[in-house]
């Protein structure tokens, strides 16, 4: 192996080690994005019959996901009509009351809207709704959950390539020293 070829292999191994190290950091960050738990808890107080109220907040789904848990419970005396929707920036809203486990959700920002219209309610009584929605990585083409490659294997490969690059540099330096010491 010539000095130039050995140096190129060493540089290539070290560059590949750096890329794998970066990929392990990105992979670890991506793997932590999901599962995502979306708690829903809203209470409306001191409402009168025929009155409506609502509350909206933002939910960000970091990557393509599916619903793995869907639970919604209404509570309170009297009669009321609830609306619970998850609405993307564009497109149709999803009714959380009928959302089922396995429903896919694309990545993006959503408005979570909860509303109530009271039909019969005594003064001072409250209406509440509580729920929890859990999202996990959507299955990939292979049918497995897409959670990203763990950082461990990528970091180990990065370390192996870094060691290989350093070994090639040491061997190259040793050969250079031997070559320089040879009589002419």
CA proximity to 72, closest of 93, 46, 35, 100: 100
Query: Which parts of the chain have pLDDT scores under 50?
Result: 1, 28-32, 141-148
Q: Which two tokens stand for residue 102?
A: 């396995």
**pLDDT at site 168:** 73
Contact status, residue 65 vs residue 110, Cβ threshold 8 Å: no
**pLDDT at site 24:** 60
CATH topology of domain 43-137: Jelly Rolls (2.60.120)
Full-prediction pTM beyond 0.75? no
For residue 97, whether the previous peptide bond is cis, meaning omega lies within 30 degrees of 0, is: no
């Amino acid at each position: 192996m010539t000095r130039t070829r050995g140096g190129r292999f060493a540089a290539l191994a070290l560059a590949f080690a750096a890329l794998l190290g970066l990929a392990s950091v990105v992979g670890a960050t991506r793997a932590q994005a999901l599962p995502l738990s979306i708690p829903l808890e809203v209470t409306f107080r001191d409402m009168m019959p025929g009155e409506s109220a609502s509350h909206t907040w933002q939910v960000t789904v970091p990557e393509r996901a599916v619903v793995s848990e869907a639970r919604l419970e209404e509570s309170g005396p009297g009669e009321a009509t609830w609306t619970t929707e998850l609405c993307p920036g564009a497109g149709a809203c999803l009714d959380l009351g009928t959302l089922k486990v396995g429903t896919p959700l694309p990545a993006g920002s959503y408005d979570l809207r909860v509303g109530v219209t009271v039909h019969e309610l005594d003064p001072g009584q409250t209406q509440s709704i509580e729920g929890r929605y859990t999202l996990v990585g959507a299955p990939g083409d292979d049918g497995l959950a897409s959670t990203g490659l763990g950082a461990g294997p990528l970091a180990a490969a990065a370390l192996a390539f870094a060691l290989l690059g350093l070994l090639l540099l040491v061997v190259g330096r040793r050969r250079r020293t031997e070559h320089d010491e040879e009589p002419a």
